[in-house]
Copies of this chain bind each other. A is one copy, B any other.
């Protein structure tokens, strides 16, 4: 299985990467009967422009550039929709949002956040999540949601600094 993080952290055809993800997202909304309205679609496109997480107000700035009104709820509502339906993830450490790179596929993302180039990748986090569930289970705690996030240096930035 191809690991997304490998792609994210290296030079790749991002136009294709973005396009493919957008198409998968469109399939999902079709199947689930969701409404990918203009703001929502544009918001997803904005998140897909790079592998960096964007704050709500950065997203808002770009929405404004596309003709939408400069009002926080415009961005937050679109972002909440995307997050609620698995098309984007919220990165708590950054108070920011990133497009999901595997929309529709059940996955347990563990986020790797490069503090040099700000790229955010989803690593396969099943093992991490399992360890978390075990730790919780040991004390009778029932997990509903979890955030697994790590900050550090991606391969490229690591080399650049060395």
Range of interface residues on A (Cβ < 8 Å) = 35 or more
**Contacting residues, chain B, for A124 (C-beta < 8 A):** 135
Contact A153 B147 (CB under 8 A): no
**Contacting residues, chain B, for A147 (C-beta < 8 A):** 92-93, 147-150
A55 at the interface (CB under 8 A from B): no
Closest to A127 in B: B131
**Contacting residues, chain B, for A144 (C-beta < 8 A):** 115, 150-153
List residues of A whose CB falls within 8 A of some B CB. Answer: 3, 5-6, 9, 92-93, 110, 112, 114-115, 121, 123-125, 127-128, 130-132, 134-136, 138-155, 158
**Contacting residues, chain B, for A149 (C-beta < 8 A):** 92, 146-147
